[in-house]
Amino acid sequence: MRLPWILILIAIGLLAFRLSGETPKASSKHAEDDRQAAALFTGPILLFHVQLPPPSLDSLRNEPRKAVPASVTIGTQRFDNITVHVKGAAGSTRSIDDNPALTLNFDKLVPGRKFSGLDKLHLNNSVQDPSLLSEQLASHLYRELGVPTARATQVLVKLDDRDLGLYVLKEGYNRTFLRRNFPDPSGNLYDGGFVRDIDQDLERDSGDGPEDRKDLQKLRDASFTEKAELREKLLDAVLDTDRFIRVTAMQAILIDWDGYGYNRNNYRLYHQPRTGRFTFIPHGMDQLLGGRRGGGMEIPMNGIVAARFYESSMRREQFFTEAERQLTEVFTRPWLSNHFRVVRERLDPVVMRRPKWEQQFRMEAMVDFEERAYDRLRTAQDQMASRPKPVRFNADGATRVAHWQPRYQRGQARIEATRIDGVEALHLAAIARDTVSSFRATVRLPIGKYALTGRIKTRKLEAAKDDRYQGGAAIRISGGDHQMRFSGDHDWTPFTYEFQVHDPRDVELVAELRAHSGEVWFDTGSILLVRR
């Protein structure tokens, strides 16, 4: 009578193993693979000696992308019957007789074989990043944010009898990578290719998902949905939105101009079977901190998904909130200092053993890259700190307007903060004909109706009309018309300017003078922004 109970217990155990997706033995093996891989990317800088038999060399000269048999010696380990092919995009591809970037597969001809827990590795020639630091920096930062991307380190490469020098080593994007980063590695992994977007037939690298790309079609359909509210719900259902915001925020901080958000390039897309959502995986991050590092913190919106996703004002606010968080908690000066210290402690001794010309070349490039990283950190933090914060209204729905900045446009003006009749005031005076000058303050406002109220005083003011404005003194918002214009002589007079905000945004308030002569004062203590 005990036998059925034994069978039931065995069945329960088998079911548990099946639900978990792997046996305890497999889990132990994966853990050891992960440990070895982590040691590879943090341990000593290794020499990869790739050897190509003559037929393989000839084949790569004619068909660089076609994998051929080869051997590789890494430290004291030799691997025969690996496969090698030339990799790289438009800017980094080099011939096999030059300094080619190479992809090594350890398990194509010998199933199950790995090196340091990995079955696919890339040797990047780093021709677009002489510092060898860009990929590694971005990889660490994205992974700090919980965004899957390939790990990177530096290695030495020898091809047959040619010393190719220092390269960047990266892990491959395949099922091994997916298993380490996602609960279920069986979903479809798509390669964005060279400047290709989701409306094109992306190459499917791996996966047990639908071969007809119906999963990708759902992302396309959601992105192209016209009705904003419905589009937002559909994108929430098919896109890992939290990670997407983190990715695009870090792209903006690092000026990762060749990534998906800016250039529709250098990305993978993984469809998670358990959630039905896509995750954008950044790669090819060898051109960071470029010429726009002093530029603004704009949202990367050139890719279809990014453009449609960030049409939502809520998502735009989430982007800037996340960017601000990353600049205070992740991409910080202490983090950068520690990162560069660890990397340089491993890399500098190897660089100093290279030929003199290469020593100088690499050292100068590394110093320049570090300086650009600190420079970008400072400018990005300054830009975020200066962004207008949402206005806080009191119980009466009003707030005082402060931080007025002078703006000269044409003519000759006197612009000053002064005191008159016992009140603090903004003073504008026309010294020459056709003078335009103003004080301006920027506020971030949600959707709603508003009014600017306060007091104004003018003296001998002769209005200067143009094609758009009637001239005189006025309060308005940038891009808005004058509703109340003052000229001639007025003692302190109340004014009201009403306007509406249809989409949450930064609104520039303008206290303006357009005159041939005369002057105006705005009572700063009286100027209120009122929510209707």
User: Each residue's pLDDT tens digit in the chain (532 positions)?
Assistant: 444 554 444 444 443 433 333 333 446 778 899 999 999 999 999 999 999 999 999 999 999 999 999 999 998 999 999 999 999 776 678 999 999 999 999 999 999 999 999 999 999 999 899 999 999 999 999 999 999 999 999 999 999 999 999 999 999 999 999 999 999 999 999 998 888 999 988 999 888 877 888 999 999 999 999 998 999 999 999 999 999 999 999 999 999 988 898 888 899 999 999 999 999 999 989 889 875 444 578 888 889 999 999 988 789 889 999 999 999 999 999 999 999 999 999 999 999 999 999 999 999 999 999 999 999 999 999 988 887 777 889 999 999 998 899 999 999 999 999 999 999 999 999 999 999 999 999 998 888 899 999 999 999 999 998 767 778 999 999 988 777 899 999 999 999 999 999 877 789 999 999 999 999 999 999 999 999 8
Strand locations in 318-447 (E):
398-400, 405-410, 413-420, 423-430, 435-445
Write out the two tokens for 310: 């960030």
- Residues with Cβ < 8 Å from 161, sequence gap 6 or more? none
Closest to 78 measured CA to CA, from 113, 43, 45, 111 = 113
Beta-bridge mates of residue 427: 416, 521
Using a CB cutoff of 8 Å and minimum separation of 24, what contacts does 44-47 make? Answer: 44/346, 45/153, 45/154, 45/155, 45/156, 45/346, 45/347, 45/350, 46/74, 46/75, 46/155, 46/156, 47/73, 47/74, 47/75, 47/155, 47/156, 47/157, 47/158
Q: On the CB side of 330, how many CA atoms lie within 13 Å of its CA? A: 22
Rounded Cα gap, residues 351 and 361, in angstroms: 10
Note the pTM of the prediction, 2 decimals. 0.75
Instruction: Tell me how crowded residue 165 is: count the other CB atoms within 10 A of its CB.
Output: 17
Q: Give burial (CB, 10 Å; 0-12/13-18/19+) of 353.
A: exposed
Rounded Cα gap, residues 67 and 114, in angstroms: 17
Rounded Cα gap, residues 441 and 487, in angstroms: 23
DSSP-derived letter for residue 209 is: S
- Residues with Cβ < 8 Å from 285, sequence gap 6 or more? 134, 135, 138, 139, 149, 254, 256, 258, 259, 266
Write out the two tokens for 508: 């520039």
DSSP-derived letter for residue 99 is: -
Closest to 118 measured CA to CA, from 192, 75, 45, 179 = 179
Closest to 78 measured CA to CA, from 111, 48, 44, 118 = 48
